Structure 1
Amino acid sequence: MIPHLIHQIWLGESGGSSPPSTFQQAAASWRHHHHDWEYRLWGSAEIRQLFAAARPELQGLYDAYPYWVQRADAARYLILHRYGGIYADLDILCERSFEFIGNCDLVLAPTKPLGVSNDLMATEAGHPLFRRLLDELPSSYHRWQKPWVLPHFQIMCGTGSLHLSRVFAMVEDHTPVRLLSNSEYGHGNIDEALVRHIDGNTWAGWDTHALIFLQRRWKRSLLGVLIILVLLVFLL
């Protein structure tokens, strides 16, 4: 069962020692809808202590990541594996209680064009998916941390949602999971929404913004086809 814990992360490397007011309001929404749940906002020092205690062999890799969001990605996998509960990015606002997940072992949210997102996850402590996510971090790093790979893909494939999607595909056949619907994930019927996404993407660089720009305008273009092919090759 998933414990009544809510985890969020602010490393301070994306601007300021504390989250901006919009993120603080989003964090408050999680506490508002879960009065009797434990809430924890993790900082850099606490995360380093956790790696030292739980996965010391990954400390060097954690420090080697060139982008702060990669450290945040790795940290969320370790936190959930160690403690269980819900992890949500600070740009996700909670609209309704997640009490329904009490009988689940794993809850994930689908993302487009395929795969699952790592910005909202819930799990029991010690779930094998999250152990595998941690175990696979070194291979993903060596595969994608290349000077000719765009930072967007270094992040997404090295530690982010595509890393999660690849590892989940390895274990999906024997891993019971409750997948949120698009509406529950905030991309559909607002009456069914559990969460709402606010302006975030504090990690996004020029390449991410360029890809988003092109995707929105050329959805049926060759670029879209190439991106899907890259994702399929990556997930296979």
Structure 2
Amino acid sequence: MDMGLTTSKRARRTRPTLIAACVALLVVGLWLAQNVLYDAWTLTALPFRWMRHAERFYLSAEHDDFDVTFASYSTQQASATPFGDEVPAILHHISLGSGTATHSKWTVVRQTCLDLHPDWEALLWTDEAADAFVAEHFSQLWEMWTTYRYPIQKIDALRYMVLYHYGGAVLDMDLQCKRAFGPLRRFRFVAPAAHPTGFSIGFMIASKGNPFVGKLVENLPRYNRQWLGLPYPTIMFSTGCHYASTIHAFQHDRTELKVLAGPRGNPGLHSLNGRVSTPLFHHLGSSSWHSYDAAMIVSLGRQHGAKLALLWIGAVGILFLAMKMVKRLRMVKG
């Protein structure tokens, strides 16, 4: 017998078996990873989904009878009269750890906000107070809370928790207030627009028990992953602005989830990127949590932003479609 012919026959029989095994492994892998793939897809889709029906949730004079420049409002206006106040008169500042947020400079900056809101309750969340609060009111999140890798993740998560439980306004320690927040209190949720998309969590104002803020709390465990193995995307995608904006973008009705931007011709009027001055704040721009990878990502984005975005979106899109196909196959077999 020709040994070469025998070997060839065995190879032909083995090849389909290997292919079938590889396909089976791929299907199983996609099925096991379906939640990760879906979450990655939602995060990737934010730039394309954010502006859908933006006229409904971006504050404007036309749709909300609101002056986004604040020129029509007194700097001392602490209430939304005559519209009525949906948001409690509570200020939340978060100062966890021993970093720059606890420096005396931020205490002076915080005082500018307290002075403009003399009749508001002012809560300063330190480590002990935050731990006690999470343990008592969000015990189901305690393990995640205590195992966050980066301190800013705890700060971000706490923003959503205190805002949901108490309502009021939560703001960064490096925001020097220029006026009272009263005009905004007639809306159940407001946050400033971020650049280039989404909104900033450095300042948020919300009603007590706000359903959207509840979604921000509820989805924290789902997005709690080491995204790309780097600090910057991990923070942004698990608790930061990109995470919160993604949850916003995928809400069915975003009408009451107001975003504060500028008038036409100046959409970045309220943006808190870097050291800027807005109608509401002087932003001193500490951003001390940005790690080495933030600069790397920004640099890559400037040089190859479109290509990287397309590659990332394409990869996630292909995986997401494959996941859908697997799901359909299971439904057919079932």
> C-alpha separation between the residues in 2 aligned to 1:184 and 1:204?
21
* Equivalent-residue separation in structure 2 for 1:49 and 1:62 (angstroms): 12
Aligned residue runs from structure 1 range 117-196, under 5 A: 117-141=200-224, 144-146=225-227, 148-171=228-251, 173-181=253-261, 182-185=268-271, 193-196=279-282
Deviations 1:37-69 (A, max 9, x none): 111110111111111121111000001111111
Identity %: 26
Q: Secondary structure at the match of 1:183?
A: coil
Partner of 1:106: 189
Gap regions ≥5 residues in structure 1? none
SS of the residue corresponding to residue 6 of structure 1 reads strand
Deviation at 1:175, TM superposition (A): 4.2
Name the one with the larger strand percent: 1
The 5 A counterparts of 1:25-36 are 25-36=108-119
Deviations 1:85-110 (A, max 9, x none): 00101111111111102211111111
Match runs of 1:65-104 below 5 Å:
65-104=148-187
Match of 2:290 in 1: 204
Verify the 8 A CA contact 1:186 1:193 in the aligned structure 2: no
- Consecutive unaligned residues of structure 2, counting only runs of 5 or more, are 1-85, 262-267, 321-334
Shift in Å, 1:191: 8.8
Deviation of 1:13 after TM superposition, in Å, equals 3.9
Secondary structure of 1:47's counterpart equals helix
C-alpha distance in structure 1 between counterparts of 2:92 and 2:195, whole Å: 24
Shift in CA distance, 164/121, structure 1 to aligned 2, threshold 3 Å: same
For the aligned residues, what is the CA RMSD?
2.7
User: Are 1:222 and 2:304 matched, yes or no?
Assistant: yes
1 CA distance for matches of 2:310 and 2:153? 22
Pick the aligned partner of 1:4 from 89, 114, 118: 89
2:107 paired residue number = 24
The corresponding residue for 1:60 is: 143
Counterpart of 2:201 in 1: which secondary structure?
Answer: strand
Contact 1:185 1:194 in 2 (8 A): no
Q: Look at both structures and tell me which one has the larger radius of gyration over its CA atoms.
A: 2
How does the TM-score come out when normalised to structure 1?
Answer: 0.85
CA distance in 2, matches of 1:24, 1:91: 9
CA distance in 2: counterparts of 1:21 and 1:229, whole angstroms: 45
DSSP-derived class of the 2:248 partner: helix
- What TM-score, normalized by structure 2, do the two folds share? 0.61
| Residues 172/160 of structure 1: CA separation in 2 closer, same or farther (3 Å cut) | farther
Between stretches 60-69 and 27-36, larger displacement belongs to 27-36
Kindly indicate whether the alpha-carbon contact (under 8 Å) linking 1:10 and 1:42 is maintained by their aligned counterparts in 2: yes
CA–CA separation in structure 1 for the residues paired with 2:95 and 2:110: 11
Count of residues in Structure 1 that have an aligned counterpart in Structure 2: 224
**197-206 vs 69-78, which moves further:** 197-206
Classify the secondary structure of the residue corresponding to 2:208. coil
Does the 8 A contact of 2:91 with 2:123 survive in 1? yes
CA deviation after TM superposition for structure 1 residue 228, in Å: 8.4
Large movers: runs of 4+ above 4 Å = 227-234
User: For residue 154 of structure 2, what is the amino acid of its counterpart?
Assistant: R
Q: Which residue of 2 aligns with 1:14?
A: 99
Is the contact between residue 248 and residue 254 of structure 2 (CA under 8 Å) also seen in structure 1?
no
Aligned counterparts of 1:51 and 1:186: Cα–Cα separation in 2: 28
The separation in 2 between residues aligned to 1:29 and 1:224, in whole angstroms, is 41
